[in-house]
Amino acid sequence: MDRLDRQELDLMADARPLRAAVVGAGYWGPNLARNFKSGPDWELAGIVDRDLGRAAKLAAAYGVPAFESVDELLDTAEIDAVAIATPAHTHHGIALTALRAGKHVLVEKPLADSRVNGLEMVEEAEERGLVLMADHTYCYTPAVLKIRELIADGSLGEILFIDSVRINLGLVQPDVDVFWDLAPHDLSIVDFILPGGLRPLEVSAHGADPLGTGRASVGHLTFALPNDAMAHVHVNWLSPTKIRQLVVGGSRRTLVWDDLNPQQRLSVYDRGVSLDRQSRSAADQKASAISYRLGDTWSPALPEHEALAQMVAEFASSIWQQRPARTSGASGLRVLSVLEAVSMSLSADGQSSAVKGNEPQLEGSR
């Protein structure tokens, strides 16, 4: 959290805490409930689950009421916001209901099960002046916050390439492929750290289903970045070794985030290849204009904090300040748009597929 936010939060110190209910008491809901309960900005106001027993059990642990439906919640409880941690195909319906009742909404990734549904959610929130936030938790880890800062302040220079690898022996999912399961993490991080956000015109995806499960379990995804740079994402459920690594190659420095190395999560290499840009036009002099830097490596100390607590604080902050959240509904929609283009490319044998909403004429505006 940067200094400005902190200052503003201090101003808000007198404000009463906001009241949130969590919808969905399955895997992720309890984590949200715990953070709404423990932070200074929020009061937990209730738990909703179609399985009332499950809702009641979680609710009891925190001494709050349980509800069987969102309608029941909205009729009964006095709340400011709803946090949705239910299956993706239910996000659209629940979010619209909550927004139409004037509540701010936080949604687990992916924002919705289709771009068109996500777009409707974003527009509904905009019209009503409400906060719609995507729960891109990784973006609130100390490492990703630092990466965003290093790119923003020019430490890396111009981005040359991004490579993100997220592979592991994974649970083959019954309803989504490996792209929809894992790539939202990589894509939301790219959206968060790039000053211009995630706005490829088209993407190309290649996948394989060697076990014959009916959907891809190994996948590679590439798209262009501004200035002739490129991004690549490797997602894989079949790897016996676990790798979670992001490389951001820059013209000044290159950064490697190894999330499984707690002793040196982030390394910044002052090494690289550089080209004297003035000689770009003089084609025959190119080779001689390339030079190498072999400088020091630096690993910044990272604060220790729980990402989810930061995310929940940002939700409160964006409501108080009446501004889009850092991981706004719009960012969730950008991720969704890329995922839809991935599916199209996959079914077209890897052919580049246009990303809706990122048509050329719109480029640059955010």
> Which listed range, 9-17, 86-94, 167-175, 182-190, lies at the site for a second copy (CB under 8 A)?
167-175
Of the candidates 23, 175, 20, 176, the one whose C-alpha atom is nearest the C-alpha of residue 94 is 23
Residue type, 361: Q
Judged by CB under 8 A, the chain residues 327 through 366 that form the site for a second copy are: 349-352
The least CB distance from residue 38 to a second copy, in Å, is 15
Q: How far apart (Å, rounded) are the C-alpha atoms in residues 63 and 57?
A: 10
Sorted by sequence, the CB contacts under 8 Å of residue 22 that are 6+ apart come out as: 29, 32, 33, 36, 44, 46, 47, 48, 58, 82, 83, 85
Single out the residue of 25, 33, 160, 319 in contact with a second copy (rule: CB under 8 A).
160
Sorted by sequence, the CB contacts under 8 Å of residue 346 that are 6+ apart come out as: 177, 179, 205, 206, 207, 216, 219
The least CB distance from residue 229 to a second copy, in Å, is 4
Residue type, 321: Q
Q: How many residues line the site for a second copy (CB under 8 A)?
A: 73
Prior bond of 110 cis (ω within 30°): yes
Judged by CB under 8 A, the chain residues 263 through 302 that form the site for a second copy are: 263-264, 267, 269-275, 277, 280, 283, 286-287, 290, 292, 294-301
Q: Whose Cβ is closer to a second copy: residue 7's or residue 288's?
A: 288
Torsion sign over Cα 122, 131, 326, 261: negative
Judged by CB under 8 A, the chain residues 227 through 256 that form the site for a second copy are: 227-230, 232, 234, 236-242, 247, 249, 251, 254, 256
Judged by CB under 8 A, the chain residues 34 through 93 that form the site for a second copy are: none
Region class of 47: left (phi > 0), else alpha (psi between -120 and 50), else beta = beta
Strand bridging mode 104-108 / 81-84: parallel
The least CB distance from residue 283 to a second copy, in Å, is 6
Judged by CB under 8 A, the chain residues 175 through 214 that form the site for a second copy are: 204, 206-214
Q: Whose Cβ is closer to a second copy: residue 6's or residue 286's?
A: 286
Q: Whose Cβ is closer to a second copy: residue 76's or residue 351's?
A: 351
Q: How far apart (Å, rounded) are the C-alpha atoms in residues 10 and 87?
A: 36
Q: How far is CA 297 from the centre of its chain?
A: 28
- Tokens of residue 146, six digits: 């630092």
The least CB distance from residue 290 to a second copy, in Å, is 5
> Which listed range, 12-20, 86-94, 136-144, 261-269, lies at the site for a second copy (CB under 8 A)?
261-269
Q: Whose Cβ is closer to a second copy: residue 12's or residue 243's?
A: 243
Judged by CB under 8 A, the chain residues 6 through 35 that form the site for a second copy are: none
Q: How far apart (Å, rounded) are the C-alpha atoms in residues 158 and 152?
A: 10
The least CB distance from residue 350 to a second copy, in Å, is 5
Task: Mark residues 118-157: x for contact with a second copy by CB under 8 A, - for none.
Answer: ----------------------------------------
Single out the residue of 63, 129, 174, 364 in contact with a second copy (rule: CB under 8 A).
174
The least CB distance from residue 334 to a second copy, in Å, is 21
User: Which residues are registered as beta bridge partners of 166?
Assistant: 235, 244
The least CB distance from residue 158 to a second copy, in Å, is 8
The least CB distance from residue 280 to a second copy, in Å, is 5
The least CB distance from residue 35 to a second copy, in Å, is 19
* Residue 161 in contact with a second copy, rule: CB under 8 A: yes
DSSP helix/strand/coil, 70: helix
Of the candidates 166, 232, 184, 138, the one whose C-alpha atom is nearest the C-alpha of residue 334 is 184
Whether residue 216 contacts residue 237, with contact meaning beta carbons closer than 8 Å, is answered with no
Whether residue 69 contacts residue 8, with contact meaning beta carbons closer than 8 Å, is answered with no
Judged by CB under 8 A, the chain residues 207 through 226 that form the site for a second copy are: 207-214, 217-218, 220, 222, 224
